Amino acid sequence: MIASRRSPLHNELQRLAPRWLNVQGMAVPARLAQESESRPILLSDVSFLARVGLKGPQTVQWLAGQGIAVPEQINSWLTLPQDGLIARLGTTEFLIEDGPHGQITAALKPVLRSGIAGVYPVLRQDAAIVLTGSEANSLLLETCSVNFMSFPLTERRAIMTSMVGVSVTIVRWMRNGLPLYRIWCDGSFGPYLWETLLEAAHDIGGGAIGVATLFPEWKLGGQ
Q: So where are the chain's domains?
A: 10-48+125-214, 51-122
Is pLDDT of 223 > 60? no
How would residue 8 be classed by pLDDT, with cut points 50, 70 and 90? Answer: very high
More reliable by pLDDT, 169 or 24: 169
pLDDT score recorded for residue 4: 83
Q: Over 90: is that where the pLDDT of 32 sits?
A: yes
Measured in residues, the chain has a length of: 223
Residues 6+ apart with CB under 8 A from 7: 13, 26, 27, 28, 45, 47, 48, 127
Confidence of residue 12 (pLDDT cuts 50, 70, 90): very high
Residue-level pLDDT at 176: 87
Q: 1 pLDDT exceeds 70?
A: no
CATH topology of domain 51-122: Alpha-Beta Plaits (3.30.70)
Check if 10-48+125-214 and 51-122 are the same fold. no
Q: What percent of the chain has pLDDT over 90?
A: 90
Q: In this structure, what DSSP letter does residue 110 have? A: H
How does pLDDT run across 72-101, given as a tens digit for each residue?
A: 999 999 999 999 999 999 999 999 999 999
pLDDT at 145: 85
Question: CATH number for the 10-48+125-214 domain, one of 3.40.470.10, 3.40.50.720, 3.30.1360.120, 3.90.180.10?
Answer: 3.30.1360.120
pLDDT above 90: residue 121: yes
SS3 content of the chain, % helix, strand, coil (to 5): 25, 35, 35
**Is the confidence at residue 3, as pLDDT, over 90?**
no
For residue 140, what pLDDT is reported?
A: 95
Least-confidence region, from 70-74, 126-130, 147-151, 195-199: 147-151
Q: What average pLDDT does range 9-28 have in this prediction?
A: 95
